[in-house]
Structure 1
């Protein structure tokens, strides 16, 4: 029964965010995703290049909604995404005939390597999975997927986080670099 007692939780929910925090989270997320999406659709739109991947939505939650979180820091953002992208591509290339296995190997290995390198960034798991389950346009990129769209898009989001998260006096980003 001790096992099931753990499922009760150990503490209460965190306090509600204030209006200012909610507003700045919204503004910074709008700017971060907006800039990446603008580049993706208006600058790269007529090319075969992309800058926007689904896992950036989850990164936006951390960078702009929880900028003090260790999981949102630059090392974690960049390292977690890029390492996970490499793992996802390798998993697909080796196991593309068994997508269920490639998917499981990509995500679990990405998590293990992010832990080992102190770059844990939860959206990295999605970045690894995207490398496996996406279509031909992502698969054709091969290991370049880690640089463009993943590395370049994450770098744009980082620059926006550095600028916008430091505008209000009560917010600071980053908490640490390395």
Structure 2
């Protein structure tokens, strides 16, 4: 089948390097906190959905889905929805998973905070480990909100070093 648009042009080497540096420092920071500061506690700082957020906020910085409102709002809203779905439907995990992701998408749309990794944040709240489940609604603060915030700070710092990059496009 033929598509309706053309593939985007390749990015330059400089763009690749700055994306790599941002992702390394962003994920490295939340991972460092997780494995060094929170080790031996019941807290978690890194979740799998942050990998997808890193692609957006360091590699696709002009995307509306990568902007701060979407990053922070999408993760926090989705975390709350995921925890609620787990608490209400944990006896039917398939249903809890489906309700969490579908509701997260709907609410992110309604609040203009659509951030695709938020769907994974909601799903992780349902299918995550007992350590994730034990966090309850704290999951929306640590790791979802605070981890996303750490990554945002690094995105603002790193993405604005080269004159060819500007992040964010907007805040709210």
Match of 2:151 in 1: 157
CA distance in 2: counterparts of 1:46 and 1:129, whole angstroms: 25
Q: Provide runs of 4+ in structure 1 moved above 2 Å.
A: none
Q: Which TM-score applies when normalising by structure 2?
A: 0.98
- Structure 1: which 5+ runs fail to align? 1-6
Check if 1:37 corresponds to 2:37: no
1:170 partner SS: coil
Q: Which TM-score applies when normalising by structure 1?
A: 0.95
Match of 2:75 in 1: 81
Check if 1:63 corresponds to 2:57: yes
Match of 1:121 in 2: 115
Match of 1:4 in 2: none
Q: Cα offset for 1:12?
A: 1.5
Check if 1:19 corresponds to 2:1: no
1:8 partner SS: coil
Q: Cα offset for 1:42?
A: 1.2
Q: Which has the larger radius of gyration?
A: 1
- Structure 2: which 5+ runs fail to align? none
2:170 partner SS: coil
Q: CA RMSD, aligned part only?
A: 0.8
